[in-house]
Amino acid sequence: MSRRVARALFLLALAAGTAQDRPRRDPPVTIGGYRVLAADFHVHSAVFSAGALAPWDLVLEARRQGLDAFAITPHNQVWPARLGRWASRVLGGPRVLVGEEIRAPAYHLIAVGIERRVSWDQPASAAIDDIHGQGGVAIAAHPVADYWPGYDDRAMASLDGAEVLHPAAYVGSSARDELEQFYGRRRMTAVGSSDYHGLGRLGLCRTYVFAADDGEAAILEALRARRTVVRDRDGRMHGDPALVRLAAADGRLWTRDPARPADGLLFALSRIAGVLAVVAGLVFGLPSTVEV
């Protein structure tokens, strides 16, 4: 009897949770003649990449979070990202760019728009050359002070962008200042990324890309041309000053900000039911006999 109740409760919670799990439907935003895309360029998947969600689940989750594009950036490899790009084409978007987090002891570097793996076993400047050779864009990943020595003058000169906003900025006491100091070293593309592994939220920190269209080539061209705006939770903005002014005056862009946690009685009940259902399943769901 109790097992039946547990299963019924589980199925009910599953039905309620599935019904609430809907994608965001944001209208396209055009500002200053550019199509403005909400993007996250630092996302990890399950399958050899220390993430919680499989590449195809990332595609669906990015859609739920209202992202137009994102890069799957496995550690020191690219094939899970290619799998994600294939899933995106099958599922109908959002656009997935193939990327890699080149994770070397001295630096962590995001490559976006590549096809082949970039070796970690080389200085940052050589890795950046390799990324550029493939037509990709090189972004310093969470460049807090620990990683500064990994970027020598040559690497700094060829770097395309830096993560000026990252969830670490909200958690560590000095991370925000360090990210901004690194970004301020020279004129480069402002990037906000969630570094999503499964904790937190995909697109929690995001980049608004001012692109000619929503194609991969246009996104990469916009990143190279530094046409981005990043805005943190407190409303502080980084990026191309003219575009920052345009975005602030327009105001529509902030409707594309990460969704705040949902509230309301139904959602709370759905969450409670979900947890209770798994507890009930754990306690009653299987034969409890363990006689040897």
Binding site for another protein (CB under 8 A): 10, 13-14, 16-18, 20-21, 46-50, 52-54, 56-57, 60-61, 64, 74-77, 103-105, 120-121, 167-168, 170-172, 198-201, 204, 233, 258, 261-262, 267, 270-271, 274-275, 277-279, 281-282, 285-286, 290, 292
Output the smallest distance, CB 215 to another protein, in A.
27
Smallest distance, Å, CB 68 to another protein? 20
Closest to another protein by CB, 157 vs 282, is: 282
Bridge partners, 70 (sequence order): 40, 96
* CA atoms within 13 A of residue 153's CA, in its CB half-sphere: 0
As measured in angstroms, the least distance from the Cβ of 81 to another protein is: 12
Q: Provide the minimum distance between the beta carbon of 155 and another protein in the complex, in angstroms, as a whole number.
A: 17
Residue 267 Cβ vs another protein, minimum distance, rounded to whole Å: 7
- What tokens appear for 128 in the block? 């950046």
Nearer to another protein, 225 or 286 (CB): 286
> Among residues 191 and 202, whose Cβ is nearest to another protein?
202
Kindly state the smallest distance separating residue 78's Cβ from another protein, in Å: 10
In the complex with another protein, the residue whose CB is nearer, 217 or 282, is 282
Q: Which is closer to another protein, CB of 26 or CB of 121?
A: 121
User: Which residue, 225 or 262, is less far from another protein as judged by CB?
Assistant: 262
Cα separation values, 54 from 48, 61, 224, 289, Å: 10, 10, 29, 34
